[in-house]
Structure 1
Amino acid sequence: MVMPLLYQCQGQTSETSELYTYKKGDPNGIGKWYMGREIAHVMGFQGMGWLERPEREKEENTATLLQHMNISSYDTIADVGAGSGYHVFKMAALADKGLIYAVDIQEEMLAAIQQKMNETELQNIKTVKGTEKSVALPENSVDKILMVDVYHEFNFPVEMIASMKKALRADGKIYLVEYRGEDAEVPIKKLHKMTESQAVKEMEAAGMKLERNFTKLPWQHCMVFIKE
């Protein structure tokens, strides 16, 4: 599988910081490292068609993922890095009396979601323009946060997880979905995959702990994190 065109994000020029290290690495990375992992380039809105590809359900088994999330009618859920809204609309139908925040930093992605909203009868979706450091959500406002193949692209993972942790309710959960870095057979570029051990290391540094890893998806981890 060939990944779609990626945004060429500007890496910072300083060599070190308290949290991050800057050095040359993989061509698919931004030259910025966190806890031994190079951060990947962000997928641009030009790759929207890949997000909506017809074979995605077979490759990722989205239906099983959403079933595993145990979504209730009254849930408030944030899809962080929502992209074109592939998961947003599926979750909105399940949380029909709740609210789905579609969070993204790209105006083009949010515009695509808004256009789909205008074509449906779903009224429980709210688009949110986030930043590289914040999900821009109210404190203590969400029951679940879903991140699908996006965390590895965060330019500021420490700040983003801190922002999500604030938005999460006391008993809330983060569902971190990433292509399995341990599996060379998963046909995705190396920097766009993560191992469970790396994800756990980074989330534990943010005060989150692994509750379980749902392993029934074809290519991806679905790691569930809760507040420590």
Structure 2
Amino acid sequence: MERNTRQPTVAHMVTLLRLLLLTMALGIAGAGEATPPAYELGVKSRDGIGKYFMGREIAQVMGHQGAAWLERPERQEEEDTAAVVRALELKPEWVVADIGCGTGYYSYRMAPSVKEVLGVEIQQEMLDLLMAAGKKKNITNVKPVLGTITDPKLPAGGVDLVLLVDVYHEFDHPVEMLTAIRQSLSATGRVALVEFKAEDPRIPIKPIHKLSEAQARKEFEALGFTWERTVSTLPWQHLIFFKR
């Protein structure tokens, strides 16, 4: 029986090489696409929604009926809100997004120092309160933005600072929200996250409405953010800065 002794032609070798290079390219591209952390369903606590993200149960959203709590007279003493604003190091040319702005407590404290504040809410009732406060204060550079639970509706690359005060732990779609927030930031943009310290049991806030620095960093870094610095000197909260 005669054996087949034909050698591969140059054309065959070129084809094989192209297939090999294509396979390697697809493998490299796939390796760079990290799969976002998944949500899980679990036991629902009294103030939670039974949905978990990276081991943390997501808290229920505070409704507009609780708006008065945002303007409580003792808030400055409890949270040192003036120190928070100073730590933001605001600049006159900045566009700032205050996500979960509520009544505009922080929006109107930042407005005199920046070009524009985008007050983002998912409740129209909160935006109505925001704009009513603006008329009363005669401040015109705070703009209302009605977002959704998955999209803050911010301009791509058009925001210099995103402020999240006691709201991130209530995002029921944190993956989608953080992805959209990251896309909204300018090349030098940052996120300033303010949350009650889960590390301190003496702080009189329900545990589900607290967030530890370690947990915050784990979640943000999983979505592509880079930790920059943490301000730990506030009475009840920490202020954590992330870069895109």
Tell me the TM-score normalised to structure 2 length: 0.84
* Structure 1 residue 120: Cα displacement: 2.6
How far does the alpha carbon of each residue in 1:196-222 deviate from its partner, in whole angstroms, 9 at most, with x for none? 110000000110011010011100010
Matched-pair contact (CA < 8 Å) for 2:103–2:133: no
> Which protein has the bigger helix share?
2
Unaligned runs of 5+ in 2: 1-36
* Structure 1 residue 121: Cα displacement: 2.3
Identify which of 65, 81, 97 aligns with 1:46. Answer: 65
Q: Does 1:146 align with 2:163?
A: yes
Select the structure of larger CA radius of gyration: 2
1:116-195 aligned at under 5 Å gives the runs 116-195=133-212
Root mean square deviation, CA, Å: 1.2
CA distance, structure 1, for counterparts of residue 101 and residue 138 of structure 2: 19
CA distance, structure 2, for counterparts of residue 28 and residue 119 of structure 1: 34
Identity %: 44
* Structure 1 residue 25: Cα displacement: 3.2
Tell me the TM-score normalised to structure 1 length: 0.90
Unaligned runs of 5+ in 1: 1-17
Equivalenced residues, count: 209
CA distance, structure 2, for counterparts of residue 117 and residue 180 of structure 1: 31
1:92-131 aligned at under 5 Å gives the runs 92-95=111-114, 98-131=115-148
Report the 3-state secondary structure (helix = DSSP H, G, I; strand = E; otherwise coil) of the residue aligned with 2:161.
Answer: strand
* Structure 1 residue 117: Cα displacement: 1.6
CA distance, structure 2, for counterparts of residue 138 and residue 47 of structure 1: 29
Q: Which residue number corresponds to residue 107 of structure 2?
A: 88
How far does the alpha carbon of each residue in 1:171-202 deviate from its partner, in whole angstroms, 9 at most, with x for none? 11100000000100111000000001100000
1:4-83 aligned at under 5 Å gives the runs 19-83=38-102
Q: Which runs of 4+ in 1 moved over 2 A?
A: none
CA distance, structure 2, for counterparts of residue 200 and residue 120 of structure 1: 36
